[in-house]
Amino acid sequence: MNIDFSVITNNLDAITHGFGITLGTWLAGTALALMLGLAISVLQLYCSRPIRMGLRAYIEIVRGTPFLIQLFLLYYGGPSIGLELDPVPAGTLGLAIYGSAYFAEIFRGGFNSIPKGQLEAATCLGLTRWQAIYRIKLPQMLIIIVPALTNMIIILSKETAVLSVITVPELTGVLTGIGTASFAFMEILIVLCLGYLALVELTSHVGHWVERRVGRFMLR
């Protein structure tokens, strides 16, 4: 088998555009997932029992079903309830929903790792519950969960490959189309692996950098 990367250089513009779509959906979906996961974790810890039960059910359903099925329900099933989304917004929202359940559990574990006595001491000092969460528990929790957050962000970067099934023109979809037209599947798979490896390595290095920085902060 002869490997010829001319098929890659001839379609470099399309591949670059696909990589940009992958990067954009990943970053936007991750940011939304982090915000939604944090909100869910706080509500789950400090709201009434019915709300906690509803959020617990949401987490279990999302974590207990494949991401592919969730995408199909969102993109193809959404119009039946009046939710019509283009492929890229649907993919971004799908990543946000999928990641939020996992981030919520990570945040919840981080909150629970902070001694309850700190919250009681904050109350004695006159801080409200929400002030204590924002000023005392949240900063410490973020320091503790950096490795877990990094791992989940890496997982979401690789899950962007699934978005091609709902016609999102991201890296996997673009390269698969080029491979189907040119029959250069080996070249396509090599470039695809290198693209996702670059995302994973970049995220890993950033996560390690943040972990070192917060480690120095804790030692002060």
pLDDT of residue 196: 93
The total number of structural domains in the chain stands at 1
pLDDT tens, residue by residue, 8-55: 888 999 999 999 999 999 999 999 999 999 999 988 877 888 999 999
How many whole angstroms separate alpha carbon 58 and alpha carbon 50?
Answer: 12
Residue 1 placed within a domain: no
pLDDT tens, residue by residue, 155-195: 999 999 999 999 999 999 999 998 888 888 888 899 999 99
The total number of residues shown for the chain amounts to 220
The C-alpha R_g of the chain, in whole angstroms, comes to 21
Residue 46 placed within a domain: yes
Tokens representing 30 are: 């991750």
Residue 21 placed within a domain: yes
**Any idea what the CATH number is for the domain that residue 29 is in?**
1.10.3720.10
Helices (H), 76-145: 87-112, 116-124, 129-132, 138-144
Its pTM stands at: 0.86
Residue 211 placed within a domain: yes
Residue 36 placed within a domain: yes
DSSP H or E segment with residue 69: helix 67-75
Residue 102 and residue 37 in contact, taking contact as beta carbons nearer than 8 Å: yes
How many whole angstroms separate alpha carbon 16 and alpha carbon 27?
Answer: 16
- For residue 51, give its domain range: 6-219
Residue 87 placed within a domain: yes
More confidently predicted of 218 and 103: 103
pLDDT of residue 106: 93
